[in-house]
């Protein structure tokens, strides 16, 4: 077993176990922390696929910004045993059935997808995920949307100031 393969299996197991822990753990703060672990494991996978940029963005944006936001909301809501909404049996049953339906569809899809059967991800090669290639693409083919998104950010910034400033 090569070293990349060992890392791959380790990261996969970590991602799956953490994802289960997100759902299973009682305290919402623990759930969020497990979710951070999931994101780190997935970022590890991205690095294995030679996509450094997406790995870094995944950590900065998801594990960093969005998770902090999640924690803020949780702490502001001050969740505890008393305020937890009571879920009745029917609600749980509907949840299980609808979730189970999705699971069946996903499993049957993967079973039918013959084109990916027996193939493994190509690691350590390919340059699509490199920052250099991405930058070149962004400033040639996608330069118009790139520039126009600045209008979007500018209007959002003006909006934030208009809304947030004291009269």
Partner 1 sequence: MNAIIFSALIGVVMMLGGIVIKNNASIQSLAIILLFILLGSHLAEYYNLFNIHIETHGMLAKNRFGMFFNTIIISLTLLYVLLSGDEIAKAGTYGAEYFALLFFSLCGATILSSYNNLLMLFLGVEIMTIPLFVLTASEKKNLKSNEAGLKYFLMGSFSTGILLMGIALYYGGTGLFAIEAGIGKNANEIQQTLRILLPLGLLFIFISLAFKVSAAPFHFWTPDVYDGAPSVFTSFMATIVKTAGFIAFIRLFELRSVDMSYSWKILLPLIIILTLLAGNITAVFQQSVKRMLAYSSIAHAGFMLFALYNPNDFGKQGILLYTVAYSLATIGTFAVLTKMKDYTYEGYNGLAKSKPVLAATNTIFLLSLAGIPLTAGFFAKYYMLASALKESTRNLWLVIVAVLFAAVSVYYYFRVIQAMYFKEGNAETTEIKPFFKVLLIIIAALIIVIGLMPSLLLDLFYA
Shortest separation between residue 40's beta carbon and partner 1, angstroms: 24
Least Å distance between CB 137 and partner 1? 10
Tally of CB atoms within 10 A around 40? 18
| Residue number, 82 or 167, with CB nearest to partner 1 | 167
Q: Least distance to partner 1 from the beta carbon of 8, Å?
A: 24
- Sites of contact with partner 1 (CB under 8 A): 112-113, 115, 140-145, 148-149, 151-152, 154-156, 158-159, 161-163, 165, 167
**Residue 136 to residue 126: CA distance in whole angstroms:** 16
Q: Which is nearer to partner 1, 9 or 146 (CB)?
A: 146
Instruction: Give dist(CA 151, CA 134) in Å, integer.
Output: 22
Dihedral over Cα of 70, 75, 79, 80: its sign: positive
Minimum separation from the CB atom of position 141 to partner 1 (A): 5
**Separation between Cα atoms, residue 128 and residue 55, nearest integer Å:** 13
**Residue with smaller CB distance to partner 1, 3 or 148:** 148
Distance CA 167, CA 77 (A): 28
User: Closer CB to partner 1, residue 120 or residue 161?
Assistant: 161
């Amino acid at each position: 077993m090569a070293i990349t393969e060992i890392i791959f299996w380790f990261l996969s197991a970590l991602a799956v176990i953490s994802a289960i822990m997100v759902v299973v753990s009682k305290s919402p703060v623990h759930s969020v922390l497990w979710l951070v672990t999931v994101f780190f494991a997935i970022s590890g996978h991205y690095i294995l696929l030679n996509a450094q940029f997406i790995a870094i963005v995944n950590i900065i944006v998801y594990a960093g910004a969005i998770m902090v936001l999640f924690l803020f909301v949780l702490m502001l809501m001050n969740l505890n045993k008393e305020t937890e909404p009571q879920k009745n049996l029917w609600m749980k049953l509907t949840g299980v059935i609808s979730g189970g339906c999705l699971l069946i569809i996903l499993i049957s899809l993967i079973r039918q997808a013959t084109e990916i059967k027996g193939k493994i991800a190509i690691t350590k090669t390919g340059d699509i995920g490199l920052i250099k290639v991405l930058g070149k693409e962004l400033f040639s083919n996608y330069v118009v949307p790139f520039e126009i998104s600045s209008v979007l950010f500018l209007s959002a910034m003006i909006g934030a100031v208009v809304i947030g400033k004291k009269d």
